[in-house]
Amino acid sequence: MSIIKKNVILLFMILALLVYALVVNQGAEFGGADGEAESVIAETSPDYTPWFQPLWEPPSGEIESLLFSVQASVGVGFICYYLGYRACLRRKEREPKCD
């Protein structure tokens, strides 16, 4: 099986997992797991108050998703640069005439 075929199958498996999670929980909030952990802490240690606050918090959900997108795109940018560079090197090895 070619790599493209293998990876397309794997990609569909991942998508199926995520879509399934959305479909079986249509009413759910999809909050962060740590938000739920906080409510457990409030139960087990009702007197606990966090003793340190984040030095800086994104001022809004929009700014937060901006920063998450920046994080993801910087990463993907490098990953694609690297793979493109390696793919080109390999092609040059195989077909020395095609520059």
Partner 1 sequence: MSFVFGMHIMEGFLPMKWAALWSIAALPFIIAGCRQIAGVVREEPKLLALLAFAGAFVFVLSSLKMPSVTGSCSHPTGVGLGAILFGPGAMVILGMIVLLFQALLLAHGGITTLGANVFSMAIVGPFVAYGVYRLMSKLGAPQGLSVFSGAALGSLITYLVTAAQLALAHPAEVGGFYASLVKFAAIFGVTQIPISIAEGLLTVMVMNLLMAYSRDEIESLSLLRNGGSIHVNN
**What is the rounded distance in angstroms from the CA atom of residue 1 to the CA atom of residue 7?**
10
Residues 6+ apart with CB under 8 A from 54: none
Indicate the residue among 32 and 96 with the shorter CB distance to partner 1: 32
* Under rule CB under 8 A, residue 47 binds partner 1: no
**What is the rounded distance in angstroms from the CA atom of residue 38 to the CA atom of residue 46?**
11
Which residues make up the interface to partner 1 (CB under 8 A)? Answer: 3, 6-7, 10-11, 13-14, 17-18, 20-22, 24-25, 27-38, 40-41, 43-45, 48, 50-58, 64, 67-69, 71-72, 74-76, 78-79, 82-83, 85-87, 89-90
